[in-house]
């Protein structure tokens, strides 16, 4: 009896691994196809991934760096600005692509049987590929500023994982809501503009009063941007790299935005799975 149970357990584990590998293959195929189609027929192709954030950077730097003299705060202001823009661009792309992914792939929803979460996840991975291309600009600016990487740069790995998890959680929620109401697209477009200017991307967070810093740090995006700056710009002036621990005057405060990210992901998965059976008929 125990031998039969053991054999059944092995078969069950093998079947689970097979399903996981199948789902991963579907995820890889969809994400790769999305990334290739994004620039299909374009003369410049993947170069557009660099042009868009660099164009926004140039405009903002000329206005706020040169005209409003924010560059006088630190010689690293251009790199600090670019870091914020690239991180926000990934978040914007991932959430926008994830939001419309289910509706855009309605034929897949109706014809194939697979976990529907693969579709918005693939969309966020497509944005992650574009983010990887954008890192070329970051590397160029780091080299230009003669910044030498050190052991602390390993902290960028968990920060980038947190960034992806946060973007995925928001994308899952938006994708679920977008199936029900297309107005979510307009609402999120406005929300992204508010988030961009409310986050310390253009201006140093040190310009904000203490009470405002605590509020903006509840947003994981702010915490991630500031922590990335603190790691990369370790030689910069303090006002330009304040972290959540500095804002709350407690090291344990780092758990606040991380906790928000985890809770948001759990809520997103629960909402998505609850609505998943109805996607095919609503798209």
Q: What is the pLDDT of residues 70-88, one digit of tens each?
A: 888 888 899 999 999 999 9
- Spell out the domain ranges in the chain: 2-282
In sign, the C-alpha dihedral spanning 44, 47, 48, 52 is: negative
Q: What is the pLDDT of residues 141-191, one digit of tens each?
A: 999 988 998 888 999 999 999 999 999 999 999 999 999 999 999 999 999
Helix (H, G, I), strand (E, B) or coil at 44: coil
Q: Which residue has the higher pLDDT, 63 or 86?
A: 86
Q: What is the DSSP string of 9-37?
A: HHHHHHHHHHHHHHHHHHHHHHHHHHHHH
Angle formed at CA 131 by CA 215 and CA 71, multiple of 5 degrees: 60
Using only C-alpha atoms, the chain has a radius of gyration, in whole angstroms, of 21
Q: What is the pLDDT of residues 97-122, one digit of tens each?
A: 999 999 988 877 777 667 889 899 99
Band the pLDDT of 96: cuts 50, 70, 90.
very high
| 234 vs 250: CA distance, rounded Å | 20
Average pLDDT of the segment spanning 239-247 = 79
């Amino acid at each position: 009896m125990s031998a039969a149970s053991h054999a059944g357990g092995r078969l069950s584990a093998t079947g689970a691994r097979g399903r996981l590998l199948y789902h991963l293959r579907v995820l890889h195929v969809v994400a790769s196809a999305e990334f290739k189609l994004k620039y299909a027929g374009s003369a410049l192709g993947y170069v557009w991934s660099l042009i868009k954030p660099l164009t926004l950077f140039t405009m903002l730097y000329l206005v706020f760096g040169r005209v409003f003299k924010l560059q006088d705060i630190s010689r690293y202001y251009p790199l600090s600005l670019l870091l914020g823009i690239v991180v926000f661009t990934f978040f914007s792309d991932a959430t926008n692509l994830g939001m419309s992914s289910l509706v855009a792939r309605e034929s897949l929803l109706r014809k194939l049987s697979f976990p529907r979460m693969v579709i918005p996840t693939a969309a966020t991975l497509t944005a992650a590929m574009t983010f990887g291309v954008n890192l070329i600009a970051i590397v160029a600016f780091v080299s230009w500023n003669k910044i030498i990487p050190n052991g602390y740069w390993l902290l960028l790995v968990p920060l980038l994982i947190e960034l992806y998890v946060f973007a995925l959680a928001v994308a899952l929620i938006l994708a679920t809501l977008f199936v029900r109401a297309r107005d979510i697209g307009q609402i999120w477009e406005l929300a992204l503009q508010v988030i961009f200017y409310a986050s310390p991307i253009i201006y140093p967070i040190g310009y904000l009063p203490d009470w405002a810093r605590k509020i903006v740090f509840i947003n994981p995006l702010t915490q991630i941007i500031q922590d990335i700056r603190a790691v990369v710009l370790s030689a910069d002036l303090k006002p330009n790299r304040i972290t959540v621990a500095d804002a709350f005057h407690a090291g344990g405060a780092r758990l606040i935005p991380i906790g928000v990210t985890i809770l948001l992901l759990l809520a997103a998965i629960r909402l998505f799975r609850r609505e998943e059976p109805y996607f095919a008929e609503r798209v």
